């Protein structure tokens, strides 16, 4: 690896994502190669040029690139300062095989909303513990990609389904400590994952993952006030680990779990007469 290369790669616990890859390269040139996954790429710095199916393409910060599985391509910097990129490798089944041709014809997509959603998904995937949010964001990204490949990118219909929203809320209440995946909830309630997310958000003013986080924080508060240690509370309330509990608790409540539990005020006055 060149001395100026910066690379981070990991496999998140999110169905559909085989790898997350963040990199900055100055001189590296990718030889012609293929992947067995869909390659979803955004550029954060510089620009990239690549050949796909005997056609040259350019990618800048404003574009989203989707490279289909099993189709040869290469890659190189298009500026002297190199390029920084974030990549999601997606399971081949996440998008239909018959859409590969459309991706070959138009791999670079000018869609600010899609780029924003992909960036948000990367932020969620940086640390473990927020898998339901990642699954929800991935479902919306997948829907948008399907629209592009089918040449039908339109505003999604307003999802008004209060009955489904109520059923999902009950399910989240019941499963708060152990949690559940978006796909599992969709199977139980027999609706499409994106319909679940949109219906719930419209009915309650927040997406399902924020509601679940709130239920877990409420449980953590009760356990902390009962004298449980933060490390125990993290497990019992459904957080990935104690740092995850601390991060979410501080963002929600404004203080760390330890400070919250030890914040009882002193007694005012005295029971003993002077």
Q: Along the 274 residues of the chain, how does pLDDT read in single tens digits? A: 555 688 999 999 999 999 999 999 988 889 999 999 999 999 999 999 999 988 999 989 999 999 999 999 999 999 888 999 999 999 999 999 999 999 999 999 999 999 999 999 999 999 999 999 999 999 999 999 999 999 877 766 666 789 999 999 999 999 999 999 999 999 999 999 999 999 999 999 999 999 999 999 999 999 999 999 999 999 999 999 999 999 999 999 999 999 998 866 654 443 333 3
Closest CA to 214 of 257, 254, 248, 247: 248
Closest CA to 107 of 67, 49, 147: 67
Closest CA to 91 of 161, 14, 156, 148: 14
d(Cα 68, Cα 97) in Å, to the nearest integer? 9
Locate tokens 């979410």: which residue? 248
pTM of the shown model: 0.88
* Phi and psi torsions of 118, nearest 5°: -65, -40
Neighbours of 187 (CB within 10 A): 12
d(Cα 199, Cα 161) in Å, to the nearest integer? 5
Please report the sign of the dihedral spanned by the C-alpha atoms of residue 118, residue 39, residue 127, residue 8.
negative
């Amino acid at each position: 690896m060149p001395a100026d290369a910066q690379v981070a790669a990991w496999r998140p616990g999110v169905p559909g994502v085989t790898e997350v890859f963040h990199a900055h390269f100055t001189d590296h040139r990718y030889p012609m190669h293929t992947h067995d996954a869909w390659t979803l790429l955004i550029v954060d710095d510089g620009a990239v040029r690549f050949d796909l199916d005997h056609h040259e393409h350019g990618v800048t910060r404003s574009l989203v690139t989707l490279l289909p599985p099993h189709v040869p391509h290469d890659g190189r910097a298009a500026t002297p300062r190199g390029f920084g990129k974030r990549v999601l490798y997606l399971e081949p089944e996440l998008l239909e095989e018959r859409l590969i041709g459309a991706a070959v014809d138009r791999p670079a997509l000018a869609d600010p909303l899609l780029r924003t959603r992909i960036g948000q998904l990367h932020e969620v995937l940086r640390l473990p513990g927020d898998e339901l949010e990642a699954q929800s964001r991935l479902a919306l990204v997948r829907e948008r990609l399907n629209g592009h490949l089918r040449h039908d990118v339109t505003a999604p219909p307003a999802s008004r389904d209060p009955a489904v929203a109520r059923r999902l809320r009950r399910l989240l209440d019941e499963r708060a400590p152990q949690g559940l995946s978006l796909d599992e909830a969709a199977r139980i309630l027999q609706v499409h994952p994106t319909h679940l997310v949109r219906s719930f958000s419209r009915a309650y003013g927040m997406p399902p993952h924020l509601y679940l986080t709130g239920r877990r924080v409420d449980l953590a508060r009760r356990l902390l006030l009962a004298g449980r240690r933060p490390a125990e509370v993290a497990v019992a309330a459904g957080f990935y680990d104690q740092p995850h509990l601390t991060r979410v608790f501080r963002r929600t409540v404004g203080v760390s779990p330890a400070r919250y539990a030890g914040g009882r005020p002193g007694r005012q006055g005295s029971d003993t007469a002077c």
